[in-house]
C-alpha cells in the first residue's frame, strides 16, 4: 500500500481511539492524536529503502539495511507492535497518545494483509500471511487501492460526524443520522 493509504488508516485508527476515550474532536488533544495517527500509520515502512519513512528515520532505516531486514518482516510483525507498546509505556505521555500511536502503527501491517504479497505477521516465522486470494488482493498503487483509500477517508469523515449530538440542535433534530 502507498503511504497515503497507510496515513488514512492511521487517521481512522486515531479517530476510533478518540471516540472510545470520549476525547472531543475539537480539542488540542484530538488534534495531536490525529496528527500522530497519520504519521504512525506510515512508520512500519522504515524497512523499505526509498520510502518517506526510510528517509525521515534514516538512522533506523540504515540500521535495518545493515541487519538485512527485508520489507514486511520485522517492522510489520505482531512482535514489533508489542515491543512498541512496551516502549510507549516507558514514555511520559498521556495514555490516549500511547494507544493512538500503537493502534495507528498496527493499522499498517493490518491493511498490508490485504496486499497480494502479505506480511510476516508472526515474524520470526517465515510464514507470509494475506487475507485475500491473489485475484482479489489489493496491489500497491492500483485502482483497488485508490478505492480502498477513499473508503478509509469516508470512514474518517463519518467517525467525527457520528459523534455530533444532532438531537440537541433544534433545527437539525430531524436528520436521519
Q: What is the pLDDT of residues 80-106, one digit of tens each?
A: 999 999 999 999 999 999 999 999 999
133 or 166, greater pLDDT: 133
Cα torsion at 142, 102, 74, 130 (round to 10°)?
-40
Cβ–Cβ under 8 Å, residues 37 and 29? no
**Residue 23 to residues 9, 28, 152: CA-CA distances in angstroms?**
19, 10, 21
Asked if the model's pLDDT at residue 175 lies above 80, the reply is no
Q: What is the pLDDT of residues 133-153, one digit of tens each?
A: 888 999 989 999 999 999 999
pTM of the model: 0.90
Question: Rounded to an integer, what distance in angstroms lies between the CA atom of residue 142 and that of residue 128?
Answer: 21
Amino acid at each position: 500500500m502507498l503511504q497515503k493509504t497507510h496515513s488514512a488508516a492511521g487517521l481512522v485508527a486515531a479517530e476510533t481511539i478518540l471516540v472510545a476515550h470520549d476525547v472531543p474532536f475539537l480539542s488540542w488533544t484530538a488534534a495531536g492524536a490525529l496528527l500522530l495517527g497519520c504519521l504512525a500509520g506510515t512508520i512500519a515502512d522504515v524497512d523499505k529503502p526509498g520510502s518517506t519513512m526510510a528517509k525521515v528515520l534514516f538512522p533506523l532505516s540504515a540500521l535495518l539495511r545493515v541487519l538485512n531486514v527485508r520489507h514486511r518482516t520485522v517492522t510489520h510483525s505482531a512482535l514489533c507492535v508489542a515491543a512498541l507498546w512496551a516502549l510507549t509505556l516507558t514514555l511520559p505521555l498521556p495514555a490516549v497518545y500511547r494507544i493512538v500511536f500503537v493502534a495507528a502503527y498496527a493499522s499498517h501491517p493490518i491493511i498490508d494483509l490485504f496486499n497480494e504479497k502479505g506480511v510476516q505477521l508472526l515474524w520470526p516465522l517465515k510464514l507470509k500471511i494475506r487475507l485475500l486470494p491473489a485475484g482479489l488482493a489489493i496491489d500497491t498503487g492500483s485502482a483497488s487501492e485508490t478505492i480502498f483509500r477513499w473508503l478509509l477517508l469516508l470512514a474518517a469523515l463519518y467517525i467525527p460526524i457520528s459523534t455530533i449530538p444532532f438531537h440537541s440542535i433544534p433545527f437539525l433534530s430531524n436528520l436521519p443520522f
